Amino acid sequence: MPVFDVATVRKDFPILGRSVRGHPLTYLDNAATSQKPLAVIKALERYYSEQNANVHRGVHLLSEEATTAYEAARGSVAKFLGLKDTSGCVFVRGATEGINLVAECWGRTHLKAGDEILLTHLEHHANIVPWQVIAERTGAKVLVTPVTPRGEVDLVAFKGLLSARTKLVAFAHVSNALGTVNPAAEMTRLAKAAGAVVLIDGCQSAAHFKVDVPALGCDFYAFSGHKTFGPTGIGVLWGRPELLDAMPPYQFGGDMIRKVDFAGTTFREAPERFEAGTPDISGAIGLGVALEYFMPIQAAAHAHEQVLLAAATERLKAIKGLTIVGEAPEKVAVISFNIEGGHPHDIGTLLDADGIAIRTGHHCCMPLMKHYGLSGTARASFAFYNTLEEVDRLAVSLEKARKMMA
């Protein structure tokens, strides 16, 4: 494993050098969106200063260069996901669009009354609502796997809920609200044994550890570029090419057609099938650069984050009246918590005064919050560029906040 020097890595992220309210920025809202390395910022600038042209259409040099860069980014995505080829890698706006695409295009043609869609109680709204809506339209039913008090998916219950009626299983690889890492390969194996199609929401895993899609064995995997050190507005839906090619497209226009005639139109195969119109060219290129930046340091970054998680967990637990929500043994560096007598928003505001950015509220996981009887939590989420010094700043500021709220 290469030596991981966090001080050197931080220099790659210009925003980390700024101050907030007179304090050095302590950015602990990485589960909401990550910061971008200079390589990504420069790639966007370079694209617009030197290469800007539409892709797949021009015979001129700029268009050729833009197309090469766009398709090279798809190659980086395939490598990032452990795939041998790019055919199943569809560029979308983000995980939300990826999941909606599957619900709409796969769900509309494969689900019928009596079928079941199995989710978990940990899901982000983006992996609940599209399934609810398609269930309403098709007559299928949504079932929910419960979670344990520690915030793990109850595997026994999961097995019990799987049956011949289960047509689709969708779950987060990692919970955004609690940081729990789900046993994704095992859950996929069980779901596939029941005959279901499996979608994994990889929004919170992609930035924290190596994702090996073939090893997971799933049918669809979605993640967002902006949470993985890339630009906003770009993400990836990977799907098994044979499933994607059998799905009707959901948007129609340029680039996704084979032949248009007023007598009838034929469509291309994946990934172009689902990329109608001019895509987010610069976003895809920026994402490719982000993934190429991240891949060589991924293992060392994960190890560093686990040190931060252990240190932060210990420091936060020592604060009187602070309760951590979600203590699964397998977690990424995300800590959700509440402090007795204080509202999560008050905690967030008091920390902001010290230059510390955290997230507060329901984290787009209202059913999970309801399950724990909470309106919300405060959440500190770390990335590999965070430091032990920042863990210390968080703990000191929280202690101060606790006293002010008492």
Q: Does 381 bind ligand PLP (CB under 6 A)?
A: no
**CA dihedral sign, ordered 13, 15, 20, 24:** positive
Q: According to CB under 6 A, which residues from 313 to 332 bind ligand PLP?
A: none
User: Tokens representing 85?
Assistant: 């080829």
Residue 170 in contact with residue 146, Cβ under 8 Å? no
Q: Applying CB under 6 A, which of residues 87, 96, 100, 228 lies at the interface with ligand PLP? A: 96
Residues 6+ apart with CB under 8 A from 299: 1, 210
Q: Does 94 bind ligand PLP (CB under 6 A)?
A: yes
Task: State which residue, 146 or 361, has the beta carbon closest to ligand PLP.
Answer: 361
Residues 6+ apart with CB under 8 A from 203: 95, 124, 126, 172, 174, 176, 222, 223, 224, 227
Q: Does 358 bind ligand PLP (CB under 6 A)?
A: no
Separation CA 86–CA 374 (nearest Å):
42
Residue count (the chain): 406
Size of the site for ligand PLP (CB under 6 A): 13
Q: Applying CB under 6 A, which of residues 172, 181, 301, 350 lies at the interface with ligand PLP? A: 172
Active-site residue flag, 364: yes
Count CB atoms within 10 A of the CB of residue 52. Answer: 14
Which residue in 89, 203, 364, 365 is the catalytic one?
364
Binding mask 360-379 for ligand PLP (x = CB under 6 A): ----x---------------
Q: Applying CB under 6 A, which of residues 204, 282, 377, 397 lies at the interface with ligand PLP? A: 204
Task: State which residue, 103 or 395, has the beta carbon closest to ligand PLP.
Answer: 103
Binding mask 211-230 for ligand PLP (x = CB under 6 A): -------------x------
Amino acid making up residue 57: R
Q: Which stretch binds ligand PLP (CB under 6 A): 120-128, 135-143, 250-258, 339-347?
A: 120-128
Q: According to CB under 6 A, which residues from 27 to 46 bind ligand PLP?
A: none
For residue 210, the minimal CB distance to ligand PLP (Å) is 18
Count CB atoms within 10 A of the CB of residue 406. Answer: 11
For residue 165, the minimal CB distance to ligand PLP (Å) is 25
Separation CA 205–CA 173 (nearest Å):
6
Residue 356 three-state SS: strand
Q: Which stretch binds ligand PLP (CB under 6 A): 75-83, 145-153, 198-206, 236-244?
A: 198-206
Residues 6+ apart with CB under 8 A from 403: none
Residue 92 burial class via C-beta count within 10 angstroms: exposed 0-12, middle 13-18, buried 19 and up = buried
Q: Does 203 bind ligand PLP (CB under 6 A)?
A: yes
Residue 87 in contact with residue 301, Cβ under 8 Å? no
For residue 8, the minimal CB distance to ligand PLP (Å) is 29
Separation CA 94–CA 171 (nearest Å):
16
Q: Does 127 bind ligand PLP (CB under 6 A)?
A: yes
Task: State which residue, 35 or 67, has the beta carbon closest to ligand PLP.
Answer: 35
Residue 275 in contact with residue 253, Cβ under 8 Å? no
* Strand 356-357 with 264-267, pairing: unpaired
Q: Which stretch binds ligand PLP (CB under 6 A): 108-116, 124-132, 137-145, 306-314?
A: 124-132
Q: Which residue has the tokens 């919050």?
A: 369
For residue 141, the minimal CB distance to ligand PLP (Å) is 22
Task: State which residue, 342 or 344, has the beta carbon closest to ligand PLP.
Answer: 344
Binding site residues, ligand PLP, CB under 6 A: 94-96, 124, 126-127, 172, 176, 201, 203-204, 224, 364
Active site residues: 364
